[in-house]
Amino acid sequence: MSAMRAGGGAQTRAIGHLDDVSLADAYPWPQGPWLRAMMVTTLDGAAVGPDGRSGSISCAADRRVFAETRRLCDAVLVGAGTIRAERYRPMLAKAEHAEQRAELGLAVAPVVAIVSAAADLPWQEPLFSESALPVLVLASQSAPADRLSLARRHAEVIALPGERLDPREVVRILHERGLRRIVCEGGPMLLRHVAQAGLIDEADISVAPVIAGGGQVVTGPAFDAPIAFDLVQVAWAEGFAFQRYLARRP
């Protein structure tokens, strides 16, 4: 295990093979509110494979990292498009995590918080009926009334002003509800909005050793100025590079 100098004066921890360190040590939660963005990308910046899903560019080690970041979080923040494409499974309470979650004052399982301005979601999915805690949907007050009514039959709905939801307001609401450890799992448009708003504290990037073509991890036009991060950790497994970055705060 070694350390090397990163940009901005931070030290980068090179931990070698991902199996050589506990995932809990590799992906800790700091004190206070924290938003970590999870991204898997190919060498050419694609966020999904040819089937339109991230799983086809993932691997077993990436799925272990994914599970670890969820293990002690309060909320999984995700966009409607990703929910529709990835077909999220129910978020369940796991007995092996119960004691540590209770010690930390966490609920029995993370809350799935979905940003869907139009309140247009696949309500038939087991995610909505079988999760340990009610799914939280953040929608626009301007969404059709019948969609909001249907949404309230399947989830807890918070309707916010404006057609495009302000990511700062979304995160503020989560914090008010005691959901301070947030894992933002995308998709690309949601990641763009939370990044542009300066809300990302940590970016955990899994780089798949493939070129897939098409797509971007973060969509849309270039920002007015790049958002700086420091590389603080690198590991690898199954040909993937697992990189952990912290936002460079002023």
Confidence at residue 52, expressed as pLDDT on a 0 to 100 scale: 86
> To the nearest whole number, what is the mean pLDDT of the chain?
93
- Say what the pTM is: 0.93
Q: CA 148, CA 157: separation in Å to the nearest integer?
A: 8
What percentage of the chain reaches a pLDDT higher than 70?
95
pLDDT band at 8 (very low <50, low <70, confident <90, very high): low
Q: CA 137, CA 147: separation in Å to the nearest integer?
A: 12
| Per-residue pLDDT at 2 exceeds 70 | no
Superfamily covering domain 33-224+239-247:
Dihydrofolate Reductase, subunit A (3.40.430.10)
Confidence at residue 88, expressed as pLDDT on a 0 to 100 scale: 95
| Per-residue pLDDT at 156 exceeds 50 | yes
| Per-residue pLDDT at 250 exceeds 80 | no
| Per-residue pLDDT at 9 exceeds 70 | no
